[in-house]
Amino acid sequence: MNPTKVLNDRTIEVHDNAIAELYRSTNRNFGFLLIFEYFAVVIWAALRSPLTWHGQQSSINSHVWVALLLGGIVALPSSYLGLLRSNKPETRWVIAVCQLLMCSLVIHVSGGRIESHFSIFVSLAFLSFYIDWRLIVIPSLVVVIDHLIRGIYLPQSIYGVYAGANFRFIEHALWVVFEDFVLIAACLKGAKEVWSIAQRQALLETTTHNMEVIAERRSAILDNAMDGIISMDSNFLVTEFNPAAEVIFGIDKNEILGKDLFCSLILEEHRKIHLAGLKHYLQTGECKDLRKRIEVTGLRNKLQKFPIELSINPVHFKDEVMFTAFVRDIEERKRLETELANRSQKMESIGELAAGVAHEINTPNQYIGDNIRCLEIGMTSLMQVMTEFKELHKIAHEQGFQPELIQNIDETIEEADLAFVLTDIPRAVAHSLEGVERVASIVRAMKDFSHLGQDGRSTVDLNRVIESTVVVARNEWKHAGILELDLDPGLPHIRGNSGQLGQVVLNLIINSVHALKERYEGLEMGLIKIKSRKIEGQVEITFSDNGCGIPITSQPRIFEPFYTTKRVGVGTGQGLAISHSVICDHHGGEITFVTKPNEGTTFTILLPIESEVSKVA
Amino acid sequence: MQGSKKAGNLSWRILIFSLWGLAIGTGTLYAMKLDAAPGAAGQAKVTQIQTNTMPLLVLALHSQCPCSLATVDNLAELAAEMPNRLRVLAVITGPNSHDCPVLKALQSVPNVQVKFLSESEILTQYGARTSGQAYLYNQKGQLVFSGGLTSSRGEVNDAAGIDAIRNVLEGKPAIKSTPVFGCALQTPGEEK
């Protein structure tokens, strides 16, 4: 709604209410006044000329009857209206006329005593309390008409003379008109002031309402803030302590308000430093620790130490300096950071160990492979020799040459199961070579991973990064599901950090494994698909699983650091945050996801190939 | 339905206010009629008296008439204004004549002589019927004014009657008579 219209409507409402209340109160006052006037005129008439004498007889003076009866007819009904019908619109009109009729009665009873005419002027002045010029004009007309008629027909009752007063009303009327000018001007001014007051009140109410709304909003913000917000005055006494602060420090607001902030909430050794800094600021306007986030040790329940992140900002309000402290409980964050650091250190050690082991394995593996290949060659030659030996043995046996020797050879061949040996040894050698190759590929993958955490950028073959990571992580996924690779053989190489990208691939594989375990609980094998392809100047890698999916409530937060929905010990809440940082911040790419609860999740990574390097075949 | 009820209420109000206005008007007219009727005018029994050099004012008063106090006050003011220019003969009737407010008031008027008469005597000797009736005889003993000395009931002010006396004392033309407003001097049914 239009604020101006609201203000105008409220002004009219306030004005009308004020006028109505003015009418009511003035009506009530005139109600009492008329009763007073009635009894006064009756008593005056009774005291002044109570009796009329006729020789020896007396009777009540007619003026007493006039005051009693005519005064009653005029004053009592109008007084009733003023006291009991004060809110009726006609009441003030009746009262205005009757008040002047009472004046007329007073003048009449006084026998036209000139002093009694003052009652007219007083009455008109009283009527101006209505601040309605019409209530001055109408009674004035009553006065003039009364003076005119009485002046003609009974001048002694109004002017105290018996004759010659036909035009005297003009003089009296002029005096009334003179007063009317003053009173009407006063009424108009009064009405204007009432309107002006109504405007100011409406404006004040509107402003107050707006301020209340703002205050309520601010209060709601303070009440619902996750961080503790504490205000203190220049004496460091607490003036505001929001609910979050109560939770953080385990202290009730009423217990801390008006007390020294630092006494109860901050560790003593920090307390002195902060106090000195703030005092220095009050004296010089400078303090290096203000408007900065610093980590200090707080006191929970006045005893228990815990880490907090604190920032204190000075607030200058008029000539006063206040301070607002923003407090964040970082105990959980610190715990996770420590845990993560420990894990990272452990992982780093494992990585270094793995790299060392890989190196140590690689050397003997190489000469084992070489020797086996040498053996293979030797065995091939030996097989040819054996073939020729068999021919010689056959001929010697047929010609009866050295039968005893032949007999011994036959027995040896039979004992050695030469036929089997000659068939199985080449197969064993082939299997050994295959094993050696497998060891070599694992060692190669381990060497790739030994680059984790290194910042260098180089040409990265994403397919190879994926394959290596899949090999390294095989132990993670092989019991949870089947992992299918659909890698584009023509995928261009990009410039990037292979270690960081391998970490992302590993994180997403482990995420998928956790999702599969949560959905199938080891009773069924799930499916993980990793696909790479080139699209419109970008490399797209998708990681799909048919696991439990991501709950709707968690979806907006999965890339936040330390946010996890996994049970304690399963995840740190860092994996996706790191992945997001690696892809978006370090490689200028993007990572998105599509998920359906209990159907699965697909993460899509897009990496720019603006720095695409030549494809290595 | 509601409109007709409102109209009915309005009619009732108009009727009540009209009746009320009528009652006020009637009462006012009645009051005016009461005041418009002056007391019975007196008829001086003597129009020429033997007098010395000072004019004589004969003033008939009812002992209990509240309005007559104003008459005496007006007269006292005139006497103070024009000392030793007027003799006053106050004839008083009514209950407790010898101890009444009027008598006390007359003590402030110089050259005053008081006579206590019955209501019939005041009528037969002075022809006075209404308290405040005054007759002024000039230095020659001639009756030059007859009427009341107040311009309204009980008012102390410059009334036409006082003006007439002042004018006579100063030898100026004066009105001959004014209405008399006051209590009747005679009891109804006992006038003779």
DSSP line for A29-62: HHHHHHHHHHHHHHHHHHHHS-EEEETTEEEE-H
CB under 8 Å to A334, separation ≥6 — which residues? A307
- pLDDT at residue number A357: 81
Cβ contact, residue pair B32, A101, below 8 Å: no
Sheet arrangement for strand A481-487:
A481-487, A526-535, A538-545, A600-608, A590-596
- For residues A184 and A113, membership in a common domain is answered with yes
Cβ contacts (< 8 Å) between A115 and chain B: which residues?
A: none
At residue A64, the 3 state secondary structure works out as: helix
- For residues A370 and A296, membership in a common domain is answered with no
Over 90: is that where the pLDDT of A366 sits? no
- For residues A350 and A299, membership in a common domain is answered with no
At residue A573, the 3 state secondary structure works out as: coil
- pLDDT at residue number B155: 53
**Which of B96, B153, B157, B187 to mutate against chain A (most A CBs within 10 Å)?**
B153
Q: Are B62 and B91 in contact (CB under 8 A)?
A: no
- For residues A515 and A410, membership in a common domain is answered with no
Q: Domain count of chain A?
A: 4
Note whether residue A215 is domain-resident: no
Q: Does A44 or B42 have the greater pLDDT score? A: A44
Average pLDDT over chain B, rounded to whole?
A: 84
| Range scoring the smallest mean pLDDT among A405-419, B1-15, B48-62 | B1-15
Q: Are A481 and A525 in contact (CB under 8 A)?
A: yes
Spatial distance between the Cα atoms of A142 and A129, rounded to a whole number of angstroms: 19
- The string over B50-75, giving b where at least 16 C-beta atoms fall within 10 Å of a residue's C-beta and e elsewhere, is eeeeebbbbbbbbbbbbbbbbbbbbb
At residue B81, the 3 state secondary structure works out as: helix
Last residue of a domain, one of A305, A329, A353: A329
- For residues A307 and A340, membership in a common domain is answered with no
Q: Does A289 or B99 have the greater pLDDT score? A: B99
Q: Does B2 or A291 have the greater pLDDT score? A: A291
Q: Are A29 and A129 in contact (CB under 8 A)?
A: yes
- pLDDT at residue number A617: 31
At residue B60, the 3 state secondary structure works out as: strand
At residue A299, the 3 state secondary structure works out as: strand
| Range scoring the smallest mean pLDDT among A221-230, A246-255, A332-341 | A332-341
Last residue of a domain, one of A401, A427, A446: A446
Cβ contact, residue pair A73, B24, below 8 Å: yes
Query: Does A4 reach chain B within 8 Å, measured CB to CB?
Result: no
For residue B29, CA distances in Å to A149, A322, A453, B61 come to 11, 81, 119, 30
Over 60: is that where the pLDDT of A280 sits? yes
Over 50: is that where the pLDDT of A611 sits? no
Q: How many CB atoms lie within 10 A of CB A447?
A: 15
The interface predicted TM-score (ipTM) is 0.83
Over 80: is that where the pLDDT of A351 sits? no
Query: Does A420 reach chain B within 8 Å, measured CB to CB?
Result: no
**Chain A / chain B CB contacts < 8 angstroms:** 103
Over 60: is that where the pLDDT of A66 sits? yes
Place of tokens 């400078």: A286
- pLDDT at residue number A449: 60
CB under 8 Å to A188, separation ≥6 — which residues? A133
- For residues A196 and A67, membership in a common domain is answered with yes
Q: Does A528 or B7 have the greater pLDDT score? A: A528
Note whether residue A613 is domain-resident: no
Over 80: is that where the pLDDT of A346 sits? no
Cβ contact, residue pair A94, B17, below 8 Å: yes
For residue B116, CA distances in Å to A429, B32, B120, B123 come to 178, 34, 12, 13
- pLDDT at residue number A113: 80
Spatial distance between the Cα atoms of A65 and A525, rounded to a whole number of angstroms: 118
Cβ contacts (< 8 Å) between B66 and chain A: which residues?
A: 48-51
Pick A55's closest partner by Cβ from B153, B155, B186: B186
- For residues A148 and A292, membership in a common domain is answered with no
Helix (H) or strand (E) holding A540: strand A538-545
- For residues A477 and A440, membership in a common domain is answered with no
Two structure tokens written together for A213: 């709304």
Distance of CA B143 to the CA centre of its chain: 18
Residue type present at position B57 = L
Cβ contacts (< 8 Å) between B131 and chain A: which residues?
A: 53
Cβ contact, residue pair B151, A162, below 8 Å: yes
CB under 8 Å to A300, separation ≥6 — which residues? A248, A249, A250, A306
Mean pLDDT of A549-556: 85
Two structure tokens written together for A497: 């950090």
pLDDT tens-digit readout, A488-502: 998 998 888 887 888
Mean pLDDT of A541-545: 95
Average pLDDT over chain A, rounded to whole?
A: 86
Over 60: is that where the pLDDT of A569 sits? no
Identify the closest residue of chain A to B61 by CA–CA distance.
Answer: A55
* Half-sphere exposure for A94 (CA within 13 Å, toward CB): 30
Spatial distance between the Cα atoms of A228 and A226, rounded to a whole number of angstroms: 7
Last residue of a domain, one of A283, A304, A329: A329
At residue A85, the 3 state secondary structure works out as: coil
Identify the closest residue of chain B to A91 by CA–CA distance.
Answer: B17
Q: Mutual orientation of helices A89-109 and A71-84 as an angle, nearest 10°? A: 150
- For residues A53 and A196, membership in a common domain is answered with yes
Going by pLDDT thresholds of 50, 70 and 90, the confidence category of residue B46 is: confident
Cβ contacts (< 8 Å) between B67 and chain A: which residues?
A: 49
- pLDDT at residue number A570: 57
**Which of A53, A99, A152 to mutate against chain B (most B CBs within 10 Å)?**
A53
- pLDDT at residue number A615: 41
Q: How many CB atoms lie within 10 A of CB A375?
A: 16
Mean pLDDT of A161-189: 88
Note whether residue A434 is domain-resident: yes
Mean pLDDT of A382-390: 87
- For residues A439 and A486, membership in a common domain is answered with no
| Range scoring the smallest mean pLDDT among A444-458, B97-111, B137-151 | A444-458
At residue A191, the 3 state secondary structure works out as: helix
pTM, two decimal places: 0.57
Cβ contact, residue pair A111, B155, below 8 Å: yes
Percent of chain A scoring above 90 in pLDDT:
33
pLDDT tens-digit readout, A78-99: 999 999 999 888 899 999 999 9
Spatial distance between the Cα atoms of A559 and A578, rounded to a whole number of angstroms: 8
- For residues A66 and A175, membership in a common domain is answered with yes
Q: Are A258 and A237 in contact (CB under 8 A)?
A: yes
Note whether residue A220 is domain-resident: no
Note whether residue A218 is domain-resident: no
Mean pLDDT of A425-443: 83
Over 70: is that where the pLDDT of A454 sits? no
- pLDDT at residue number A571: 59
DSSP code, position A615: P
Q: How many CB atoms lie within 10 A of CB A292?
A: 11
- pLDDT at residue number A285: 82
Spatial distance between the Cα atoms of A64 and A38, rounded to a whole number of angstroms: 12
- The string over A511-523, giving b where at least 16 C-beta atoms fall within 10 Å of a residue's C-beta and e elsewhere, is bbbbbbbbbbeee
Note whether residue A106 is domain-resident: yes
At residue A277, the 3 state secondary structure works out as: helix
Mean pLDDT of A604-616: 66
Q: DSSP alpha helices (H): ranges in A49-154?
A: 62-65, 71-84, 89-109, 118-127, 134-153
Note whether residue A258 is domain-resident: yes
- pLDDT at residue number A2: 80
| Range scoring the smallest mean pLDDT among A355-364, A596-605, B166-175 | A355-364
Percent of chain B scoring above 90 in pLDDT:
20
- pLDDT at residue number A616: 37
Spatial distance between the Cα atoms of B75 and B58, rounded to a whole number of angstroms: 12
Mean pLDDT of A269-282: 80
Over 80: is that where the pLDDT of B160 sits? no
DSSP code, position A66: I
Going by pLDDT thresholds of 50, 70 and 90, the confidence category of residue A443 is: confident
Spatial distance between the Cα atoms of A234 and A322, rounded to a whole number of angstroms: 5
Pick A156's closest partner by Cβ from B94, B152, B187: B152
At residue A588, the 3 state secondary structure works out as: coil
List beta partners, residue A613: A493
CA B131 to chain A, closest CA, distance in angstroms equals 9
Spatial distance between the Cα atoms of A361 and A436, rounded to a whole number of angstroms: 10
Q: Are A22 and A131 in contact (CB under 8 A)?
A: yes
Q: What is the DSSP string of A304-339?
A: EEEEEEEEEEEEEETTEEEEEEEEEE-HHHHHHHHH
Q: Which domain holds residue A433?
A: 336-446
Percent of chain A scoring above 70 in pLDDT:
93
pLDDT tens-digit readout, A388-416: 888 888 888 888 888 888 888 888 888 88
Cβ contacts (< 8 Å) between A70 and chain B: which residues?
A: 24, 27-28, 30-31
The separation between the first and the last C-alpha atoms of chain B, rounded to the nearest angstrom, is 72
Spatial distance between the Cα atoms of A551 and A560, rounded to a whole number of angstroms: 15
Q: How many CB atoms lie within 10 A of CB A569?
A: 6
CATH number at residue A325: 3.30.450.20
Closest alpha carbon to A182 in A130, A118, A120, A136: A136
- pLDDT at residue number A363: 83
List beta partners, residue B87: B56
- pLDDT at residue number A110: 82
CA A182 to chain B, closest CA, distance in angstroms equals 30
**Which of A34, A41, A42, A56 to mutate against chain B (most B CBs within 10 Å)?**
A56
Cβ contact, residue pair A162, B160, below 8 Å: yes
Mean pLDDT of B23-28: 89
Residues in chain A: 617
- For residues A74 and A113, membership in a common domain is answered with yes
Going by pLDDT thresholds of 50, 70 and 90, the confidence category of residue A614 is: very low
Mean pLDDT of A19-23: 94
SS (H, E, C) A159-188: CCCCCCCCCHHHHHHHHHHHHHHHHHHHHH
CA B24 to chain A, closest CA, distance in angstroms equals 6
Q: Does A354 or A104 have the greater pLDDT score? A: A104
At residue A296, the 3 state secondary structure works out as: strand
Note whether residue A11 is domain-resident: yes
CB under 8 Å to A185, separation ≥6 — which residues? none
